[in-house]
Structure 1
Amino acid sequence: MTHCPGGHDRTGVSTMSFMSVSQYAKHAGMSRQALYTWEAKQGFPARVDGKIDQLACDAYLGQFRDSHDPRMKNATGKTTATKSQLKAGNEPVEMSIAEIKRHLAGCTGQAADMDEDERAALAAKAVGLCLSEGPDNPPMTFGGYRLAMNDCPKWEHEIVAGGAFGLDADDVVFECREHVLYVVEDEPDTYPVIPALLYVLGKDE
């Protein structure tokens, strides 16, 4: 479809949702380099006359962002169907390990610019583990993050990673990735994950 100057195409449909790369990167809360990385992903909406389609790209990114992510506040104009998909996407879904591996293979670099502590929290949520921090972790720890199967582990085997000395934020992401990929070794088995959050487990390069 050819677009005419003045904010409308030849059918009279408004094109006000089109932005430059810099404008959309700012709108979406990411760097331009991160946006280029997203554009390389399969399914990311193509540019129109060199411009970014804001509404289409917001809807695409919404599949990979938690509904509580502050960057979602800019994603306006979505249809009811899209909102329903987002809600469903934030619920745990049983996926095979093979499916999770394929999903993560397409997520490289997507979370590279995130705040590390926010990413750690979402990583734990994505795989259904409990994340705790500081000297008040039961049983006692000397600081840092710890991953466990429940909020208040009573036994050593309930602690997935962290132990007494804890993990840093990068370690949390690594341990969550390793947990979901290798805790179940048989390919037919499944594991409950939140697909919309799996991107935080993707490798940065």
Structure 2
Amino acid sequence: MSEEERLLIRKAKDGDEGSFETLILSCKGKAYNIALRYVKNENDAMDVLQESFIKIFRHLGKFNEESKFETWVYRIVVNSCYDFLRKYKNKYDEIPIAPNDNQDEKTLEIPDHTPPPEEVILNSEQSTYILECLEKIPIDHKKVIILRDIQGLSYEEISVILECSTGTVKSRISRARKNLKEVYLNNDA
């Protein structure tokens, strides 16, 4: 953690709203993406994010500064997602992570640097298929795949978020990837 971040945290703990806002803005985008991956709906993701930020503000004094601030934020966001999903269990029977089919797609023309259209379609279809396969694996496996392979968090950050050892995280990721591979190869999606 940088000295600048420590200073912002101390000021925020003392009630400086500007410092708190600066801290939140530094990780808001990734936190929103995590929430969106869990609850799928943009409005619900914003609700989860707002609830998370309220929790962060209320419990900022409990942040022990041993881990990165953003890792602590992501753990609260993940926990808020689970609270939200439990609360609205009938609305969310499983945690989908594929984008809505009816979202508008915008096409950009980039001269000579883009792969050929057939490759783009193949990659898009493969990505969609992988996301469909991810929907079929257990939630614990899906959780670590989202955090590691989609969000790109480190093993250490994931261990803090999931409150388990780094070794456990590595083991879960290995099992999750093996499970995802089996679903992918069995053509069940």
TM-score, normalised by the number of residues in structure 1: 0.30
Which structure has greater helix proportion? Answer: 2
TM-score normalised to the size of structure 2?
A: 0.32
Larger Rg: 1
Q: Give the structure with the higher percent strand.
A: 1
For CA contacts below 8 A with separation 6 or more, give which structure has more relative contact order: 1
